[in-house]
Amino acid sequence: MQAGTPLQPGPGRQPSLAQTLWRAAALHAEATAVVDRDRRYTWAAFAQRVARLAGALQALGLQPGARVAMLADNSHRYLEYYHAVPWAGGIFAPLNFRLAVPELAAILADCAADILIVDDTHLETARALVGAQPVRHLIHAGDGPTPPGMLAYEALIDAHAPVPDAGRCGDDVAALFYTSGSTGRPKGVMHSHTNLVFSAVAYAATIGLDEHTVALISGPLFHVGAAGLCVPAMVAGGRIVLLSRFEPGQVLRLIEQERATVTSMVPTMLRMLVDHPEAGRRDLSSLRTLLYGAAPMPEQLVAQAVPLFANAAFTHCYGMTESTASVTALPSRYVMPSHRHLDKWRTVGRALPGIDLACVDGDDRVLPPDAVGEIVVRGPLVMLGYWNQPELTRATLRHGWLHTGDLGRIDAEGFVTIVDRLKDMIITGGENVYSAEVEAAVYAYPGVAQCAVIGIPHPAWGEAVHAIVSASPGAVLEPAAIIAHCRSLIAGYKCPRTVEVREQPLPLSGANKIDKPRLRAPFWQDRASRIV
Amino acid sequence: MQAGTPLQPGPGRQPSLAQTLWRAAALHAEATAVVDRDRRYTWAAFAQRVARLAGALQALGLQPGARVAMLADNSHRYLEYYHAVPWAGGIFAPLNFRLAVPELAAILADCAADILIVDDTHLETARALVGAQPVRHLIHAGDGPTPPGMLAYEALIDAHAPVPDAGRCGDDVAALFYTSGSTGRPKGVMHSHTNLVFSAVAYAATIGLDEHTVALISGPLFHVGAAGLCVPAMVAGGRIVLLSRFEPGQVLRLIEQERATVTSMVPTMLRMLVDHPEAGRRDLSSLRTLLYGAAPMPEQLVAQAVPLFANAAFTHCYGMTESTASVTALPSRYVMPSHRHLDKWRTVGRALPGIDLACVDGDDRVLPPDAVGEIVVRGPLVMLGYWNQPELTRATLRHGWLHTGDLGRIDAEGFVTIVDRLKDMIITGGENVYSAEVEAAVYAYPGVAQCAVIGIPHPAWGEAVHAIVSASPGAVLEPAAIIAHCRSLIAGYKCPRTVEVREQPLPLSGANKIDKPRLRAPFWQDRASRIV
């Protein structure tokens, strides 16, 4: 707020994303907020650009609650978009650039965004999307020349005065993150202002974020994986250092150059860092927190990474789009070799402050400690629901708990272990088989590059365990040998009955996971018993 | 929740105090939650006692939203009361035992509590309160014999089964903290579930609280000063170590014995610790955070305290009952002698995450940096309002901002300095004089034990600066000498024109501050121009 202006009736007691920007700009005006290649913006400059972009969006006719889509690699403009759309009163709906045009078209139709922001890299896709879609305005947020028919992002910022925050807050929707289900109708997960602010503060409390934080973001900003660190770091008044895409050498260089204090990655990304020739030559001592998710950290990888990131706490987190950000965290000490005897390192840790977790059976009855069931979550970071899908929302949030679709167990101390996706569990001859466990056994076989274990129809057992694999370059895979290998590791009923070796890489979903529904579909055509 | 029970429809996405207890008990069942003299309760046992006490309250007829008062020194039962009343669906309304019977009666009448819990120490007061008051049930929460006509707290817990959480959450009122205004109608500050949980998480993020926290509580639990550390520490799953009342030797012994990691005090309490003969003999190395409020930490006191608390961060916090807990914090480094040149050590620091602050003039217009005006606050920790006082609530929360009544300034980096209470500021001959500044000058005069500087009517200047003082034992105070001393420290127009030396200690308000309204009243009788 400018001196001399009256106090604006704002969100008052309700959390608001705009309010967090207002605070950061008020407290840290001259500190650097964003570093994007050779561009650096202070909080004052960043907030100014956000309020001007918000003015431009309003001038284009943005109504309260209207959606604005973005299709772009990471850049400072992506962060401006995160903030400017809610500031202007709208809802930001980032698009996964890995999706095909028909998938993107379905999402645009679902959220009815009439403004689409696109960068240089994705111009072709954007052009293909216009026409049949609800999009009325295409904004070009790139450094190259603005193509005819598009509005230039920087010109819009220059041409519009900053506008006041539209005052949306609390349970108003701020963001729509589409999940990566590649079949069926797209699911737009609604994040409220309270969701974003509360989860940010709970996460900051858990991993320790403040105005001295320098967060290196290498994952794509269309995904909650990156947003889940980016938003909390900004709410805390920290600095964001962006990579347009993950590249291990660049990550190492930027940690050294920008003195990054925190970053997040999956174990395979960390493996690429550790194996990189520059790893030992970079000064990585600034890194205080290394967040990882998706899989436990192998002991050998920890042993290699600890000397490299001597000051870093290795913190395992678990969350999903529907929970806005992480719901659990496993503190570093449990990950370290010295504490492996506590046997917590395969877990994803415990609930963040303000969050409840439970493990339930198929009738939504609470299970005793260590029993496997579906993990359910409640608390202020649970999504409002799915956009325009009230029935799916009611089913997913029944009894006020988010049903994660993850199978897991919770021990007597509250540590959570994820064993599989509920829908990936295979029931064969009355036994539950967790595909993730079988996949881990298959992956341990030399030369396996990719593996998906699925259930396929079987006349006697209901389902049979089937593995689909692809080989590493130069490797030759023998189905019988893989099955024999599995038998040496896991119980016979869990082992694949059949193994299919593919020459082509397995299909990936939008979130870069192997697309199991697509793999399962041909086996289950014309059968109602398996919801693919 | 017990295994086998269905998922209970609970608060869902809304924050709830009960949910935080549920989480702590689920995660840390066998860890110690509370230490009170020779009694220690695990989280499992504590939660069990809370759910049983809630059952007893419901059996006594407690309705949703009904108030339960408590008049007691600190004990584990006070913490059970904090949680059991909201768990049962009610509102806890703790009473300041320093108030006189008529003041307490006015509060009980205002909140219409029909259950009053009392300990051994305050039995006489409680008896005096019954009769004219709405109280129907008196619960004796002491270790002595239960007097006739009262219900025994432990017997109630033994006799009742645990009940499920009543599910109150979000904007439901959880607590009523009465402020210490000693004149006029009592003001019950309504704290919602969201207020308590959000402020707890924001505070945990700021000062670093988690399940390893051991919080030593030496202030009275009827006051937000103690509640503001106690609730966040419990929400984080930390341990509470209670003193029934502040006693410096006992504080030192308990820090050593219980390995306390955090405590809070005002500088005068710290002075008593530092000067205590046992200070140098105790191992105080466990203390990581020493929170203080109410006044800046004198440099000499820091210099003495730092070697004693070698591992402690000295963190200055500022808040008020109406903001649930602290709204700002000044990190330790600014307090240290090495950073005094940054000139932030007299400030109360910057806004907590999720909180906005502004400084406004009398027309609620935002002031430029460094200009003195009223500090206003917005965010999820601002109270719902004053109990049954909608007009006062509207006035205090106008434009969605809490008007703190504190005069201060905010610098360009967001650091806040409090200069005086708005109503304590004196306007003399058109000049603003901050009573706190004048009092600091008077206190610097040897032999001054207490001092209050007030404005009294003056025919030419509107108000004149008047000091009322009492002497330390053995000291003799001369008004003229005090005025001359002030002239050597502050501008002439700020100096007291008159000084009154009292033989008796000055009257104190409920929060143990000098009761200025009472001192001002005789001067302003029959005048409307000064709201005492």
A50 in B contact zone (CB under 8 Å) = no
Q: Nearest by CB to A12, which of B23, B235, B378?
A: B378
pLDDT band at B338 (very low <50, low <70, confident <90, very high): confident
Answer yes or no: do A198 and B355 touch at CB < 8 A.
Answer: no
Q: What is the mean pLDDT of residues A237-253?
A: 94
Spatial contact of B356 and A22, defined as CB atoms under 8 Å apart: yes
Count other Cβ atoms within 10 Å, centred on residue B224.
27
pLDDT band at B119 (very low <50, low <70, confident <90, very high): very high
pLDDT band at B531 (very low <50, low <70, confident <90, very high): very low
Q: Residue A218: CA atoms inside 13 Å, Cβ hemisphere, count?
A: 23
The domain boundary, picked from B422, B440, B469, lies at: B422
Answer yes or no: do A23 and B202 touch at CB < 8 A.
Answer: no
Residues B275 and B383 in one domain: yes
Full domain range(s) for residue A285: 246-422
Number of domains in chain B: 3
Residue B267 falls within a domain, yes or no?
yes
Residues B377 and B474 in one domain: no
Chain A positions in Cβ-Cβ contact with residue B368 (cut-off 8 Å): 3-4
Q: What is the mean pLDDT of residues B376-385?
A: 94
Chain A positions in Cβ-Cβ contact with residue B350 (cut-off 8 Å): 27
User: Which among B529, B407, B520 is positioned nearest to B466, based on CA atoms?
Assistant: B520
Residue B10 falls within a domain, yes or no?
no
pLDDT of residue A512: 67
pLDDT band at B377 (very low <50, low <70, confident <90, very high): very high
Min Cα distance A158 → chain B (Å) is: 26
Answer yes or no: is pLDDT of B149 > 80: yes
Answer yes or no: do A29 and B382 touch at CB < 8 A.
Answer: no
Residue A225 falls within a domain, yes or no?
no
Read off the pLDDT of residues B155-197 as tens digits, 9 standing for 90 and up.
Answer: 999 999 999 999 999 999 999 999 865 456 789 999 999 999 9
Residues A59 and A151 in one domain: yes
Q: What is the mean pLDDT of residues B286-300?
A: 83
Spatial contact of B46 and B52, defined as CB atoms under 8 Å apart: no
Please give the Cα distance from B381 to A27 (Å, whole number).
19
Residues B33 and B179 in one domain: yes
pLDDT band at A289 (very low <50, low <70, confident <90, very high): very high
What percent of chain B has a predicted confidence (pLDDT) above 70?
95
Residues A153 and A280 in one domain: no
The domain boundary, picked from A366, A399, A422, lies at: A422
pLDDT of residue A3: 72
- Please enumerate in sequence order all residues whose Cβ is within 8 A of that of B286, keeping only pairs 6 or more positions apart, or say none: B214, B255, B256, B259, B260, B261, B311
Residues B340 and B409 in one domain: yes
CA distances from A50 to A81, A86, A97, A190, A293 (A): 7, 10, 23, 22, 31
Min Cα distance A198 → chain B (Å) is: 7
A4 in B contact zone (CB under 8 Å) = yes
CATH number at residue B341: 3.40.50.12780
Cα B79 to its chain centre, rounded Å, is 15
Answer yes or no: do A27 and B201 touch at CB < 8 A.
Answer: no
Chain B positions in Cβ-Cβ contact with residue A382 (cut-off 8 Å): 12-13
B234 in A contact zone (CB under 8 Å) = no
Distance, first Cα to last Cα, chain A: 52
Answer yes or no: do B350 and A27 touch at CB < 8 A.
Answer: yes
CATH number at residue B475: 3.30.300.30
Spatial contact of B330 and B316, defined as CB atoms under 8 Å apart: yes
SS3 for B399-459 is: HHCEEEEEEEEECCCCCEEEEEEHHHCEEECCEEECHHHHHHHHHCCCCEEEEEEEEEEEC
Answer yes or no: is pLDDT of A412 > 50: yes
Residues B380 and B307 in one domain: yes
- Helix H or strand E segment including A139: strand A137-140
What percent of chain B has a predicted confidence (pLDDT) above 90?
64
Residues B396 and B449 in one domain: no
pLDDT of residue B110: 94
Spatial contact of A450 and A512, defined as CB atoms under 8 Å apart: no
Answer yes or no: do A19 and B358 touch at CB < 8 A.
Answer: no
Residue A219 falls within a domain, yes or no?
no
What percent of chain A has a predicted confidence (pLDDT) above 70?
95
The domain boundary, picked from B195, B226, B260, lies at: B195
Min Cα distance B209 → chain A (Å) is: 8
Residues B395 and B273 in one domain: yes
Q: Nearest by CB to A378, which of B2, B6, B10?
A: B10
Residues A141 and A250 in one domain: no
- Helix H or strand E segment including B499: strand B498-502
Answer yes or no: do A7 and B379 touch at CB < 8 A.
Answer: no
Residue B217 falls within a domain, yes or no?
no
Residue A214 falls within a domain, yes or no?
no
- Please enumerate in sequence order all residues whose Cβ is within 8 A of that of B390, keeping only pairs 6 or more positions apart, or say none: none
Total residue count of chain A as it appears in this document: 532
Helix-strand-coil split of chain B, %, nearest 5: 35, 25, 40
Residues B430 and B417 in one domain: no
Min Cα distance A194 → chain B (Å) is: 9
Distance, first Cα to last Cα, chain B: 52
- Helix H or strand E segment including A385: strand A385-386
pLDDT band at A183 (very low <50, low <70, confident <90, very high): low
Residues of chain A numbered 270-309 and touching chain B (CB < 8 Å)? none
Answer yes or no: is pLDDT of B25 > 60: yes
pLDDT band at A240 (very low <50, low <70, confident <90, very high): very high
Give the E-state strand segments of A156-225 in sequence order: 173-178, 188-192, 214-217
Min Cα distance B509 → chain A (Å) is: 29
B208 in A contact zone (CB under 8 Å) = yes
Residues of chain B numbered 332-391 and touching chain A (CB < 8 Å)? 350-351, 353-358, 360, 363-369, 371, 376, 378-380, 382, 384
Q: Residue A95: CA atoms inside 13 Å, Cβ hemisphere, count?
A: 32
Q: Nearest by CB to B399, which of A3, A7, A413?
A: A7
Please give the Cα distance from A301 to A307 (Å, whole number).
11
This complex has an ipTM of 0.76
Give the residues across from B265 on adjacent strands.
Answer: B292
Residue B3 falls within a domain, yes or no?
no
Residues A42 and A125 in one domain: yes
pLDDT of residue A527: 59
Residue A228 falls within a domain, yes or no?
no
Phi, psi torsion values for B220, nearest 5 degrees: -70, 135
Mutate to test the interface with B, among A1, A5, A7 (most CBs of B within 10 A): A7
User: Which among A438, A464, A434, A463 is positioned nearest to A451, based on CA atoms?
Assistant: A438
In the numeric block, which tokens belong to residue B71?
């008049």
DSSP 8-state secondary structure symbol assigned to residue B154: H
CATH number at residue A124: 3.40.50.980
Please give the Cα distance from A34 to A41 (Å, whole number).
5
Nearest chain B residue (CA) to A207: B205
Read off the pLDDT of residues A324-370 as tens digits, 9 standing for 90 and up.
Answer: 999 999 988 888 777 777 788 889 999 988 888 999 999 999 999 99
